[in-house]
Structure 1
């Protein structure tokens, strides 16, 4: 049946063309944006997951940046500890020299005084961003941000710690002179009041005790450096894994979308032609009345 009021073929062709145009627009958006899921309406589950993971990845990146700051703090403290160990070893060698009865202990003490001043200077200068782990002051524990963790719906920032009061070279440095801490007794060494080799041996014992404590402190800093390096490497790999995982969920397959685009463009041309034919069919009715 042919009707001059309703063109069934044109309606069908129009619906087909409309559907093709919608698919074509969607494909063009994917090609231009690179996303197959760019908003919640595209896929609620994937969009929710990707939004959360992208947010976490930014937090992880911030934690990795904080690791860099922490690494600088640890490196500063370790450099100070290493330099202080060298200076204390010099003091140790001066004390060994002083055991020889013919040496001028006053002159040796002048050298030790300068070395003691250097110890105070090293400790006071071991500051990064206003934080000094070599002078304890009122500090308790030095912390370094080393990660960001999501567990179920809870998030947290993890830290690595360094026991400042235990390993600080001094409790305080006033007027350029360090007191207390690991090196407190070393700063009290004074050969001018020493008369016997036994007394020098006691001073050597004091230095050895300080060196042992400093070695432990340096080891603690070294272990912390290793942890930071490992965590930095892990954070980089974890960030890459998150990016790849999110990409699989929301990124468009450009080869597939390109093929779809070509096919839909061809379908669009055919649908337009089909609609044109359907529209022209009603005009052909005029020949029946000639």
Structure 2
């Protein structure tokens, strides 16, 4: 049946052309954005999962930066404790010299005072990002290590790596956890010593007698033991922080790959599809043109 009011062939060709153009627009969008899912309208479920994963990546990136800073804080503290041990060893050398007959205790006392100032300077300088793990400003430090997202009724939480701090010299910070005069270097008294030694305020009196020399040496040994123990704690904490930092970076990379697999467009596939759709579009236009010419054939019936 030939009709001038209804051209079924043209309608079919037009519907096919519209479908091709819609697919072509989708493919061109993928190529221009690089994404096969760029909004919830494309695929609500996939887009929602990708948004959650990207949110987690943001948190992990922040934690990774925090762990890098924490590692630096611990590295500074470790260096400070190591340098303090070195200074204490120098102090022991000077005190041992004072025990020699005819030793100039006055000059040795001056040297000891200088080494005491050096200890104070080490503690004061051991500051990074506003944190000082050697001045007694806090009794413990919690370094952010990981993130646990909420599941069901469980709330999201940040997990930490903790360090029990020891003060080399107390009284640091606005509200010190260790009072001034109570630090490792300030009130050292070994078992059997008759008196404690303040290694931040050494003078000739600390080598003025055989008893004072013996006490200073014994107390120095105790300081070295305490500092070594604290250095080991810092080192173990730093190892944990560095290991966690490496893991967080790997986890973040894996999440990035996961997000990419969900929403990134396969450019090889998209380019091949684009060429096919452009060909289909051209054929669709030609098909529609041919279908529209069918109505012109009716005029020949009246000639």
In structure 2, the residue matched to 1:160 is: 161
1:44 equivalent to 2:57? Answer no
Partner of 2:163, secondary structure, is strand
Q: Is the 8 A contact 2:109 2:207 kept in 1?
A: no
Distance 1:193 1:266 in 2: 96
Structure-1-length-normalised TM-score? 0.91
With normalisation by structure 2, the TM-score equals: 0.88
Q: Could you say which residue in structure 2 is the equivalent of 1:184?
A: 186
CA-CA distance at 1:106 after TM superposition:
2.6
Deviations, residues 77-121 of structure 1 (Å, cap 9, x unaligned): 122111111111111111222222331223212211111111112
Residues 200-220 of structure 1: CA deviation (Å, up to 9, x unaligned)? 223211111110110111111
Gap change, CA 1:23 and 1:195, over 3 Å in 2: closer
Give the stretch that moved more between structures: 12-21 or 62-71: 62-71
Give, in angstroms, the shift of residue 152 of structure 1.
2.0
Q: Give a deviation string over 1:159-196, Cα, whole Å, max 9, x none.
A: 222222xx21011279xxx7321111342655536565
CA distance in 2, matches of 1:259, 1:22: 16
Contact between 1:98 and 1:105, CA under 8 Å: does it hold in 2? yes
Describe the SS at the equivalent of 2:144.
strand
CA contact (8 A) 1:173 1:179 kept: no
User: 5 Å matches for 1:161-240?
Assistant: 161-164=162-165, 167-172=166-171, 179-185=181-187, 186-187=197-198, 190-192=203-205, 197-240=210-253
Structure 1 residues 22 and 173, CA, compared in 2 at 3 Å: closer, same or farther?
closer
Tell me: CA distance 1:144–1:173, structure 2 relative to 1, closer, same or farther (3 Å): closer
Q: How does 1:128-167 map to 2 (within 5 A)?
A: 128-137=128-137, 139-152=138-151, 154-164=155-165, 167=166
| SS of match in other structure, 1:170 | coil
Which residue of 277, 280, 297 maps to 1:267? 280
Aligned residue runs from structure 1 range 112-131, under 5 A: 112-131=112-131
Q: Which moved more, 1:11-20 or 1:117-126?
A: 117-126
Q: Considering only aligned residues, what root-mean-square deviation do their CA atoms show, in Å?
A: 1.9
> Which has the larger helix fraction?
1
Number of paired residues? 284
Superposed displacement of residue 38, structure 1: 0.7
Deviations 1:232-273 (A, max 9, x none): 211211111000011111111111111111111111111111
Partner of residue 2, structure 2: 2
- 2-side partners of 1:33 and 1:132: how far apart? 48
CA–CA distance in 2 between the matches of 1:133 and 1:235? 24
**Offset of 1:198 from its aligned partner?**
4.7
Alignment deviations for residues 19-54 of structure 1 (CA, whole Å, 9 cap, x no partner): 111111111111111111111121111111100100
Which ranges of structure 2 fall in alignment gaps of 5 or more residues?
Answer: 174-179, 188-196
Show the counterpart of 2:255. Answer: 242
